[in-house]
Amino acid sequence: LVRFGDAASVVKTLTAYRRIWGSKVALHWVDPKKCELVEPPDEEFDAVPWQDALDASILECFEFWLGPDNLPNDPFLRRQVRSRPDRYVPVRVFLRFNRMHGLSQDCGEIMRILRASQVLSVEGEGEEGLVRGVEDHSFRPGETADMVARQQEGLAKLAA
């Protein structure tokens, strides 16, 4: 059991480090007041409202991944965005990202969080949920609409 002073530290630490001395760490978010401890703490635990910090971290990740600083330089996500004419990417694609392993694997919860974004558009629910940037940031410098259309056509043929 680890005690943190603020929610942002909790989320950043527990989602960044998943190994201690080479052993994989299983993360469990718990209310310390509901745990049976072998040795009671010297002072009372104050619950930290970590859920808001976790939600903010998930939202920040998605907005970055589908935003102008990442998407033009991320060939994997660009292919995902361009594989559908409406540019939506299934949320389950993001569950494979290392960062998401520590944040959340619950598509329903992720969709709830993403609906709060001003720069993302979401459709569907749970495992069938889709997300895209409101603006299309998948164009690389020097790319034309014709080049992108040809790539989308090629991806459609591969998917068929």
Taking residues 138-145, report their average pLDDT: 85
Question: Residue 66: what pLDDT?
Answer: 97
Q: Residue 1 above 60 pLDDT?
A: no
**Two tokens at 23?**
């052993």
Mean pLDDT to the nearest integer, 3-18: 69
Give the mean model confidence (pLDDT) for residues 44-65: 86
| Total-model pTM | 0.77
Mean pLDDT of all residues belonging to the chain: 84
Residue 149 near residue 87, CB atoms below 8 Å: no
Confidence of residue 99 (pLDDT cuts 50, 70, 90): confident
